[in-house]
Amino acid sequence: MFVPDVESVGSLLWLTALVATLPIVGFFALVGAMRMRSHLAGLIALVLGILLAIVAFRMPVDMALSAAALGALNGLIPIVIIVIAAVWLHKLMEATGREVDLQKVFSAVGSGDLRLQAMLIALCFGGLLEGLAGFGVPVAIVAALLMGLGFEPKKAAVIALVANTSPVAYAAFGVPITTAASLMTSGTPTENAADIATYVSVLEPGIAFVMPFMLTLLIDKNHFSQMFPLAFIMGVTEGAGQFLTLRFISFELGGVLPPIVTFLVIALLVRLYQPDTPEEFLTARPGDLRLDRVALAVMPYALVILVLSVGRLVPVVAGALSATDLRVAWPGLAGRVASAVEPETATNTGNVVIPILSQPGVLIAVAAIVTGIVFTFANEGGKYALGWRRVLGELGAAIYSMRFSAATIVEVIALAYVMNISGMVLTIGTLLARTGIAFLVLSPMIGYLGTAVSGSATSANALFAALQETTALQIGLPGAFAVAVNTAGGVIGKLIAPQSLAIAAAAMGEPEKEGELLGEVIGWSLYLLLFAVFFCVVFGLLLLG
């Protein structure tokens, strides 16, 4: 059996840890400093990781390649499938023009107040898009919608970027959490995901609470007191919604249910409290909003919630879907990886469960198919024409549009598996554990920097989940807590990630303005990072007793 060795290079822990960081540092350097495309940088980092596993950590060649293959499979199933299915659903909305009706719903609820409309679009609709798709989709769409309302392009882009933070933890039906759970070294992915979600439900709602106040300052700081009651209710509802959804329903719906509930609460609240609207923020209310069109505009998202809820929460259905899962002893790994603590004992590495019908991507695809059928027949005499050819065409367009993101996901998770199984992560974690309680400050910063450079909280969790877990366990903290902290820091790093800035600048129509956008948002990201560090230290000390 292969036994990971934390002193395999020169019999020195610090030197071995330094070598172990090279694939991660190389990936970040290529993406951040050299501005290389993520999928190319990911491929180079993966090759480097495999070579170091073989040469520096003495991992057999067949095991290193097998670990990479297993990681690639876990990147494809279920993560890439989830993302493509969610993007497909959204493209069906765009193809039929139903998205315009959804915009009118926000405008009607906003009661002619541009400030409220902007907050509803940025927080509720943008949060919903993040929960459904993620990977830059919300920033592009929200910025475009805000410019359509009349916001100056840079301001629209900044609002879209700042708003797209808290929901990132639950992007694409919880992919960051799912990814981290699958890469932890102890427990099953299902158990790990539940544990991570428990801690995320404590950390993320705080960020969700302050977000409406930040947006209020961005949109109209001169009349902050007017919008304060609405911002307060939005923050409480969104934060409480995230907490309750993660604790009692499903973490996959953490980015879907709360923004919908927040929207409904605000829709009722504005009937009781309507702030005085300054003239520069007055807009006309839509006059052609019909109930049937509203129903069809919200139907796809309601359908996704229904399908996922039935597939996950109804025991008979969940059991039937899980019965299709494949349980495989992965070639080259099963029974061949020993524990570093007990070298004579084989770990569970290589005993793999491959979800087939139980994976969220399949359930979302079912919702997309039903949506396509409904939209095909309910087309108002051809005004919203779709047809099965267009439905399939939009699936192809979704796959094509996500091809580079999908490649990056597959490569990064393949690298994470190589680093985990070879002992690289264990080595870095062992060194970091020697910082003791100071790790409580470092932990969210690691997630922050990971997402800031890679552009993806999923990638940051893939790279650092096992590292955070290993380090936390060595200093007496629950591994899932540190992974949740990595997630909390990571969602804030999304605000300044080069990919996010590039998407926002492209939505502005001024791709050369990435630097200006960074200057506008970096302060907000640092404030939020300090907020996350504070929460991490407080809860970490409580857990340590």
The SS3 call for residue 110 is coil
Tell me the three state secondary structure of residue 312.
helix
Tell me if residue 167 falls in helix, strand or coil. helix
Count how many Cα atoms sit within 13 Å of the Cα of residue 504 in the half-sphere of its side chain: 32
**How many domains is the chain built from?**
1
Percent of the chain predicted with pLDDT > 90: 23
HEC string for 333-391: CCCCEECCCCCCCECCCCEEEECCCCCHHHHHHHHHHHHHHHHHHCCCCCCCCCCHHHH
What is the token pair recorded at 179? 């990814």
In a domain, 91, yes or no: yes
Of the candidate ranges 233-247, 310-324, 399-413, the one whose mean pLDDT is the lowest? 399-413
DSSP 20-45: HTHHHHHHHIIIIIS---HHHHHHHH
Give the residue-averaged pLDDT of 359-365: 84
Backbone angles phi, psi at 256, to 5 degrees: -110, -55
Task: With cut-offs at 50, 70 and 90, classify the pLDDT of residue 61.
Answer: very high
Where is mean pLDDT largest: 273-282, 404-413, 428-437, 522-531?
522-531
* 447 pLDDT tier (thresholds 50, 70, 90): confident
| Domain presence at residue 5 | no
Looking at residue 18, what is its pLDDT?
93
- Please name which of 283, 262, 266, 289 lies closest in space to residue 100, comparing C-alpha atoms: 289
pLDDT confidence of residue 133: 66
- Contact predicate 396/77, CB 8 Å: no
Q: DSSP of 54-97, one letter per residue?
A: HHTS---HHHHHHHHHHHHHHIIIIIIHHHHHHHHHHHHHHHHT
Widest pairwise Cα distance in the chain? 75
**Does residue 1 form part of some domain?**
no
User: What pLDDT is attached to residue 245?
Assistant: 92
CA–CA separation, 106 and 297 (whole Å): 12
CA–CA dist 438, 436 (Å, integer): 5
Token output for 329: 């002893």
370 beta partners: none
Asked if the structure places residue 4 within a domain, the reply is no
Nearest CA-CA partner of 415 in 43, 79, 55, 3: 43
Closest CA relative to residue 130, chosen from 161, 94, 168, 162: 168
pLDDT at 139: 81
**How far is 534 from 532, CA to CA, in rounded Å?**
5
CA 177, 180, 186, 187 torsion-angle sign: positive
Contact 455, 500 (CB under 8 A): yes
* Residue 289 within any structural domain of the chain: yes
The span from the CA of 236 to the CA of 248, in Å, is 18
Residue 2 located in a structural domain: no
Flag whether 3 is in a domain: no
Q: What is the pLDDT at residue 239? A: 93
pLDDT band for position 484 (cuts 50, 70, 90): very high
> Is 38 a residue whose pLDDT tops 80?
no
Half-sphere exposure of residue 184, counting CA atoms within 13 Å on the CB side? 29
> Which tokens sit at 336?
């061949």
Kindly indicate the confidence band of residue 512, based on its pLDDT and cuts at 50, 70 and 90. Answer: low
Phi, psi of 332 (to 5 degrees): 90, -15
Distance CA 333, CA 352 (A): 10
Per-residue pLDDT band at 334 (split at 50, 70, 90) = confident
Position with higher pLDDT, 241 vs 187: 241
Q: Does the pLDDT at position 285 exceed 70?
A: no
pLDDT digits (tens, 9 = 90+) for 99-120: 777 767 777 777 778 888 888 8
Is residue 498 included in any domain, yes or no? yes
- Provide the residue range defining the domain that includes 183: 13-544
Q: For residue range 123-132, what is the model confidence (pLDDT) as tens digits?
A: 988 888 788 7
Tokens of 376: 């095909």
At residue 43 the predicted structure's pLDDT band, cuts being 50, 70 and 90, is: very high
